[in-house]
Amino acid sequence: MAEKFTSITAAAAAYEARNVDTDQIIPARFLKFPRAQGYGRFLFHDVREEPGFVPLAGARILVANANFGCGSSREGAAYAFHDAGFRSIIAPSFGDIFFRNCLKNGIVPVRLADALCAHLRAMLREKPATELTVDLESQLVVEPGGKAHPFSIDAFFRSILLQGVDELGVTLSLKSDIEAFEKRYASGS
């Protein structure tokens, strides 16, 4: 899928826990369902019934904590966020594979400093559904009132998201480079 992403301004929600694993985000028993059925209903399926779970409905941006999306490589975790309406997740750090899976599903994962994420989560605890802006073009997260925080993101993915270009399409256009590589590689050079 090649969804374009330039900037969103939307209600945000906070997720406090550190080391949130992808088993929590989507239990394994849901991964066998076809994507077309929609994965939004599986988001945090088992944990959301627990007391104290802060509802996420209506939010399109999540502000999370360290090592978000660790564990299993299941892309269902990104499917679930996407189909539930999320288009950006902000955290101090991410599980590697989950980070990349988000990028493949039109969700911009933003790394911000620990203290800054804590500040944003505290703000959302006080005022749930506060709107934040995630601007991919200028690489800024903007609070209400205008305070802006820069973030870095790989130029490659920023570029294809801004253009709404399909990553696989880019690679397929490089077919001759791949074939040339294979020739060199096979000959041992």
Partner 1 sequence: MSAVPPRTLFEKIWNRHVVLERDGQCLLYVDRHLVHDGSFHAFANLAARGLALRRPAQTFGTVDHYVPTLSRSAADAPTPEIRRMIDTFAANARRHAFRAFELGDARQGIVHVVGPEQGITLPGQVLVCGDSHTSTHGALGALAFGIGQSEIEHVLATQTLWQARPKTMRISLTGTTPSHVVAKDLILAIIARLGAGGAAGHVVEYAGAAVRAMGIEERLTLCNMSIEAGARAGMVAPDEATYAYLGNKPFSPRGDLWKESLEFWKTLSSDAQARFDAELTLDASLLEPMVTWGTSPEHALPIGGVVPQGPARSLQYMGLQPGMPLEGLPVDRVFIGSCTNSRIGDLRAAAEVARGRKARVPAMVVPGSQLVKRQAEAEGLDAVFRAAGFEWRHAGCSMCVAMNGDAGAAGERIASTSNRKFEGRQGRGARTHLMSPAMAAAAAVSGCLTDVRELA
**Interface positions with partner 1 (CB under 8 A):** 17, 19, 21, 23-24, 27-29, 31-35, 46-47, 66-67, 70-75, 78, 93-97, 100-101, 104-105, 154-157, 159, 167-168, 171-172, 174-175, 177-178, 181-182, 185, 188
Contact 38, 160 (CB under 8 A): no
- Other beta carbons within 10 angstroms of residue 79's beta carbon come to 24
Least CB distance from residue 33 to partner 1, whole Å? 7
Q: Which is closer to partner 1, CB of 36 or CB of 145? A: 36
What span, in angstroms and rounded, lies between the C-alpha atoms of 24 and 21? 6
Q: Which residues pair with 111 in a beta bridge?
A: 91
Least CB distance from residue 64 to partner 1, whole Å? 13
Report which of 42, 45, 52 is spatially closest to residue 15, judged by C-alpha positions: 52
Least CB distance from residue 163 to partner 1, whole Å? 12
Least CB distance from residue 4 to partner 1, whole Å? 17
CA distances from residue 36 to 26, 80, 88 in whole angstroms, order as listed: 16, 12, 22
Q: Which is closer to partner 1, CB of 36 or CB of 57? A: 36
Say which DSSP state 103 is in: H
Q: Which is closer to partner 1, CB of 5 or CB of 157? A: 157
Least CB distance from residue 13 to partner 1, whole Å? 19
Q: What is the maximum alpha-carbon separation in the chain? A: 63
Contact 89, 14 (CB under 8 A): no
Q: Which is closer to partner 1, CB of 39 or CB of 62? A: 39
Q: Which is closer to partner 1, CB of 17 or CB of 122? A: 17
